[in-house]
Amino acid sequence: MTIGVDHDKRVSDGLGHSSSGRLERVLRAGQFAVTAELAPPDSANPEEVYARARVFDGYVDAMNATDGSGANCHMSSVAMCALLSRRGYETVMQVSCRDRNRIAIQGDVLGGAALGINNILCLTGDGVQVGDHPQAKPVFDLDSMSLLETVAGLRDKQVFASGRALSDPPRVFLGAAENPFVPPHGFRPHRLAKKIAAGAQFIQTQYCFDLSRFRAFMDQSRDLGLLDKCFILPGVGPLASARTAEWMRRHVPGVHIPDAIIRRLEGARDQRVEGRNICIELIQQLREIEGVSGVHVMAHRQEAYVADIIEKSGVLGDRAPWSPSCNKALEKQHA
């Protein structure tokens, strides 16, 4: 069994890596990567963050700490990532344009990188109307594209968006989101091309329940020559029941669930188990698609099942992603 690479070993630029993170290393080594979404607590207690992370130990290469996802207020992404990286975890800091302008965001990116965050996912963000503070002022000073360009500028040109120079750039691996499952379908692959041009190195997609749509998107992306320019991790997740699925596709912007999936859940004896089986099958089928470098698991309120889903899908083979126990094992060896 291969043990995940240890956290502090810096990767030389000679390898063409832009961060010193494990996620970038796993992807560039051609291994099938698994990332998972970590729900932030409504609390100021760091132990809650660690408890939420622990359920993924040994099964994921990085955890995405969401940034007020669904426009609901929670602990901030930068703080969650900073707490987790203290313990050696690999995190993806999500940055959305909804709540902060370019001055605040650039400051957070520098601060996040200084605190040990290796990956940044640039998002536009959900509208405030869907969240728990619909009275709030939506900022949207940048959009996901100009955010990518701005962070790439900090890293590669070592300047702020204003042109003012930095002394030390943030060494981060840059990600973006894409949703191949909503209109305008013809534009989606071109939008991916724009994101790559703006600096995206990896892509995590919205939930994929519609394989044929996803295949069409990947075919078009291949024709545009995009598949070897970025790592694509389609989003997956277990559906708790036909009712939740129905609710999600009605109320969560951007989630597309075909009728066939809902019917299959309805017909199952245990809908929860069936939801997980569907997820496992999707992961296995997605792995076979050209250009898919991993999966991004979003198991809202079903985080406890993620390890089992990954295990059963078999996508990790005999690889065990880093977990705090790897460090303990190493310490013992050296003692």
Q: Does 179 bind another protein (CB under 8 A)?
A: yes
> From the list 198, 226, 248, 309, which residue makes contact with another protein (rule: CB under 8 A)?
198
With 0-12 / 13-18 / 19 or more C-beta atoms within 10 angstroms meaning exposed / middle / buried, residue 168 is: exposed
User: Which amino acid is located at 245 in the chain?
Assistant: A
Identify the residue among 206, 220, 293, 313 touching another protein (CB under 8 A): 206
Q: Which of residues 28, 102, 215, 287 is near another protein by CB under 8 A?
A: 102
How many chain residues interact with another protein (CB under 8 A)? 38
Task: Using the rule CB under 8 A, give the single segment among 21-29, 110-118, 138-146, 314-322 that binds another protein.
Answer: 138-146
Please report, as residue ranges, which positions from 142 to 171 form the binding site for another protein (by CB under 8 A). Answer: 142-146, 149-150, 161
Between 102 and 229, name the residue whose CB sits nearer to another protein.
102
3-state secondary structure of 225: coil
- Determine if 97 is a binding residue for another protein (CB under 8 A): yes
Among 7, 17, 25, 98, binds another protein (CB under 8 A): 98
Judged by CB under 8 A, does residue 186 bind another protein?
yes
Asked whether position 124 contacts another protein by CB under 8 A, the answer is: yes
Task: State which residue, 197 or 304, has the beta carbon closest to another protein.
Answer: 197
Among 44, 163, 183, 301, binds another protein (CB under 8 A): 183
Does a cis peptide bond (omega within 30 degrees of 0) precede residue 41?
no
CB of 147 or CB of 227, closer to another protein: 147
The one-letter code for the residue type at 15 is L
Among 130, 216, 268, 289, binds another protein (CB under 8 A): 130
The nearer residue to another protein, 83 or 121, going by C-beta atoms, is 121
SS3 174: strand
HSE, side-chain direction, 13 A CA sphere, residue 49 = 25
Q: Which stretch binds another protein (CB under 8 A): 10-18, 37-45, 252-260, 278-286?
A: 252-260
Q: Does the footprint of another protein cover residue 184 (CB under 8 A)?
A: yes
Site membership for another protein, residue 247 (CB under 8 A): no
Residue 292's beta-bridge partner residues? 232
Smallest distance from the beta carbon of 11 to another protein, in angstroms?
A: 28
Which residues does residue 286 pair with via DSSP β-bridges, in sequence order? Answer: none
Length of the chain: 335
Q: What is the end-to-end Cα distance of the chain in Å, rounded?
A: 21
- Angle, CA of 29, 30 and 35, to the nearest 5°: 95
DSSP letters spanning 231-279: EEEEEE-----HHHHHHHHHHSTT----HHHHHHHHT-SSHHHHHHHHH
The answer to whether the CB of 232 falls within 8 A of the CB of 291 is yes
Q: Is residue 93 near another protein by the rule CB under 8 A?
A: no
Q: Which of 93, 115, 111, 104 is nearest to 38 (CA)?
A: 93
Residues 205/255, Cβ–Cβ less than 8 Å? no
Q: Look up residue 50 and give its amino acid.
A: Y
DSSP-derived secondary structure letter, 10: P
Q: How far is the CB of 321 from another protein (least distance, A)?
A: 27
CB of 149 to another protein, least distance (A): 7
The binding site for another protein (CB under 8 A) comprises 97-98, 102, 124-127, 129-130, 138, 140-146, 149-150, 161, 177-179, 182-184, 186-187, 190-191, 193-194, 197-198, 206, 253-254, 256
